[in-house]
Structure formats: C-alpha cells, structure tokens
Amino acid sequence: MTEAPSSKSAGSHKLVIRNIGLLLSGDLEQPILDADTVIAVNDRIVAIGRRKDVDTENATTVIDARGTTLSPGLIDSHVHPVAGDWTPRQNQLGWIDSCMHGGVTTMISAGEVHTPGRPKDVIGLKAMAICAQRSFNAFRPGGVKIHAGAPVIEHGMVEDDFEELAAAGVMILGEVGLGSVKDGKTAHQMVAWARKYGIQSTIHTGGPSIPGSSLIDKDIVLETDADVIGHINGGHTALPDSQITELCEKSSRALEIVHNGNERAALLTLRTAKELNQLRRVILGTDSPAGSGVQPLGILRMISMLSSLGEVPADVAFCFATGNTAEIRSLDCGLIAPGRAASFVLMDKAQHSSGENLLQSIQRGDLPGIGMVIIDGVVSAQRSRNTPPATRVPEVVSS
Ligand SMILES: [Zn+2]
C-alpha cells in the first residue's frame, strides 16, 4: 500500500497522541480502553497506555488531544465511487474528501456502477474492475483508503473469470443484482466461485434503487448467500419486516445498514440482531453517492440514529462502523490495537449539545464535532469543515 507521505526516506515517523480523554477501541468486547496515550510508528499503532507507561521519547509529531475522544477512523462499507473524487451520480466533485471531514478514513466499493457507459460484457467489466482497483489504490482523495474494483456479475461469466480477477488483485464483487444476474441459482454459483478465489461478495437487498434496477427479496438473498447482506434496510425501499427478521435469523452473513435506506427497517435490523445476540454482524455504510446524494456525515448520522433511537450505547455503535466492518471485511484498520493502521478520528461533543459528554450527546441524537482526522499516521484534517464545531479540539504541539 501507499507509504505515509511524511515518513521521510531518512527514517521512521513516530506519532504520539497524548491527553486522550476517552479512548474508543472499535471492539465490541471492550469498546472503551483505559488509556490516554496512543503511539504510532509510520502507518501502524505500536503502543496504547497511560502516558507514564509508554515510550513517548523521540517523537516526530506530538498531538495533545486536550481531553477529546479518539476512535479508530470510520469505515463506510458501501460506496459507489467512479473516478477520482468525482461522482457523475450528482455531478459532484470532492465528495470523498468531504466524507473524510465526517471521520471516514476507509471506504469499500459496492461497485463502480455509476460509470458512464459501464461495460456489461465480460471482458469489459473485468477490465473496468481492474482499472478501478488500480486507480483508487494509487489515488486517495483526502488520504482516504478506497477499496474499489468491484465488478457486478453478469450472465456468461465462468469460473476462470473469477480466478483471473483475483489474480489481478480484485478482492470484492459489486452488489449482486445490479447486473443481469438476478436469480438465486446463478448468483449462488458465481458468489461461490468468487469466494473460492478469495473475492468477497455483497448483494443488493430490497426494492429497486433507481429506474432500471429491480427487487431482490429474501429468497434470492438466502439462496445467493453472499458474504454481506447489502443494505438490509433497503436502498431505499426495504423488504417487509418479516423478510428482514428472517434474513437476520436464517443467514449468518453480515447485516449491512445504510444511510440511504429505510430508517425504520434499520432499527428493526438492529433490534433483531441484538435479540439474537449477534451485534457483531452489524456494519454500516452510506450507499452514496445515490439518488439522495452524498452524505459526508452519513456514518456519524447512522451512529447517532442507531444509538439514540435503537438504544445501544454510543461506544457500541462506533464499533459497527469500525471493528465490526474491519473483521467482516478483513481490513487492517478499525481497532485501536498494536499492529493496526494508525487511522484515527478525534472528536468532542458539539458546542452547545445538551449531552454532558461526547457519548451522552450522541445518545441524545446529536452529532459529535470532529477536531482532527489522521490516516496512516498523518494528519489529514484538523477542525472538520462539515461537523458542528467540537467543544474542544486537539492540537499539534510539535512536528
Ligand atoms: Zn443496492
């Protein structure tokens, strides 16, 4: 992957973040860590602890968190990128950088389906996927890591195609159901071929998203058995409640809840996962850009909505968009632990929120204010231009 820009060839870059008021781990088992200092060397976390117990000497950059909250960078499990930081869906520039200002440091493509003139023949769709994988690997708007190159399966694909895609570096499929394959039998076969070669799959769930797409119901989702039940709360139109609960109960796959879906169905999914004691399956995405636009604060809005209306503690809701997604997507980020990517969001309760602290403000439905975003050990943004202003903001004290 890309080397952190400030890790000069002369030597390693050591980042010390001290005076952290609240440390969110991203791990559902223990969402809050008892520590106030995080240390990273180059793009990796190397130590977490109390300041007196960790080695803060010889830092190249020191950040005083000033009592704010540190979380792993947020992961958007469902985006539709096209080329660089442009989306033709709403003809908008700079949308990925805007999402970085909403705390997102990693994005997963659910298919580059908005590409004008998207090829649907087999050689064409393979070429486009490989091109997208390469270009987003090499170009990171705002520093955001974008896992792209997600081909949408079409009739006529054979096992060799999946082997070839995997060998070329394609690791994910776009949403099953957005191409010509809409029957469970064919989709199951192709998803199984993809899985055999290490390619992860997602399926569109629910009614058509835009004119030209179509309904995928619970029978097709269950038969296909993709790794991620993409937007189980619809994108936008949700399945009936009974079908959503059946998907939660009969499948063991990831339950992806998106911003551009049905909020009532999102809460039903969360409640069902909680009753099944399977919150680990819950991951979050925006499904943007879409007909309803781009939501730079979409992941934060999901965390706040699920926490305030779905009655899960805010520290748990952060795990849905960090550690849970990292585990299901096999990513090296999403957790505050040695060896993980040094990608962080520092935030505080928004100015004038009625909550007494960050977690309480989110549980009351407010958004946090972001004070800094760090990706691979490098500061990508200081006070966010998009969130409400944070009460306290971290400060770079030496670099
Ligand atoms: Zn979809």
Q: pLDDT tens-digit profile of 158-167?
A: 999 999 999 9
pLDDT at 137 exceeding the cut of 90? yes
Please tell me the predicted confidence (pLDDT) of residue 60.
Answer: 96
pLDDT at 7 exceeding the cut of 80? no
Cβ neighbours of residue 189 closer than 8 Å, sequence gap 6 or more: none
Q: What is the mean pLDDT of residues 184-207?
A: 98
372: left (phi over 0), alpha (psi -120 to 50) or beta: beta
Please tell me the predicted confidence (pLDDT) of residue 4.
Answer: 43
Please tell me the predicted confidence (pLDDT) of residue 268.
Answer: 98
Spatial distance between the Cα atoms of 306 and 323, rounded to a whole number of angstroms: 16
pLDDT at 2 exceeding the cut of 80? no
The CA 20 to ligand 1 mean position distance, Å, reads 38
47 within 8 A of 71, measured Cβ to Cβ: no
Q: Smallest Cα–Cα separation from 112: which of 141, 97, 134?
A: 134
Domains and CATH numbers, the chain: 14-72+335-398 (2.30.40.10), 74-296 (3.20.20.140)
Cβ neighbours of residue 335 closer than 8 Å, sequence gap 6 or more: 25, 26, 27, 72, 322, 323, 326
Q: Smallest Cα–Cα separation from 44: which of 101, 102, 3, 100?
A: 3
Q: pLDDT tens-digit profile of 90-101?
A: 999 999 999 999
Amino acid at 380: S
Spatial distance between the Cα atoms of 141 and 95, rounded to a whole number of angstroms: 9
293 within 8 A of 90, measured Cβ to Cβ: yes
Q: What is the mean pLDDT of residues 102-118?
A: 97
Q: Smallest Cα–Cα separation from 168: which of 126, 120, 124?
A: 126
Residue with tokens 């169905």: 265
The CA 258 to ligand 1 mean position distance, Å, reads 10
Q: Smallest Cα–Cα separation from 23: which of 57, 47, 44?
A: 47
- Could you tell me how many residues make up the chain? 399
Give me the percent of the chain exceeding a pLDDT of 90. 94
The CA 13 to ligand 1 mean position distance, Å, reads 41
**H or E element in which residue 373 lies:** strand 368-375
Q: Is residue 10 very low, low, confident or very high in pLDDT (cuts 50, 70, 90)?
A: low
The CA 114 to ligand 1 mean position distance, Å, reads 12
Spatial distance between the Cα atoms of 328 and 109, rounded to a whole number of angstroms: 14
User: Average pLDDT of the chain?
Assistant: 96
Please tell me the predicted confidence (pLDDT) of residue 265.
Answer: 98
Please tell me the predicted confidence (pLDDT) of residue 347.
Answer: 98
Cβ neighbours of residue 211 closer than 8 Å, sequence gap 6 or more: none
Give 194-199's long-range contacts (Cβ < 8 A, gap of 24+).
Answer: 194/162, 194/166, 195/227, 196/159, 196/162, 197/162, 197/163, 197/165, 197/166, 197/167, 198/166, 198/171, 199/162, 199/165, 199/166, 199/170, 199/171, 199/172, 199/173
> Taking the model in full, what pTM does it have?
0.96
Please tell me the predicted confidence (pLDDT) of residue 181.
Answer: 96
Q: Inter-axis angle of helices 159-167 and 184-196, to 10 degrees?
A: 40
pLDDT at 111 exceeding the cut of 50? yes
Spatial distance between the Cα atoms of 194 and 179, rounded to a whole number of angstroms: 16
Question: Which has the higher per-residue pLDDT, 209 or 187?
Answer: 187
The CA 328 to ligand 1 mean position distance, Å, reads 19
Q: What is the mean pLDDT of residues 337-361?
A: 98
Spatial distance between the Cα atoms of 248 and 270, rounded to a whole number of angstroms: 10
Strand order in the sheet with 44-49: 44-49, 37-41, 14-18, 61-64, 395-398
The CA 170 to ligand 1 mean position distance, Å, reads 20
245: left (phi over 0), alpha (psi -120 to 50) or beta: alpha
Please tell me the predicted confidence (pLDDT) of residue 11.
Answer: 77
Q: What is the mean pLDDT of residues 198-202?
A: 98
The CA 300 to ligand 1 mean position distance, Å, reads 20
The CA 207 to ligand 1 mean position distance, Å, reads 9
The CA 180 to ligand 1 mean position distance, Å, reads 14
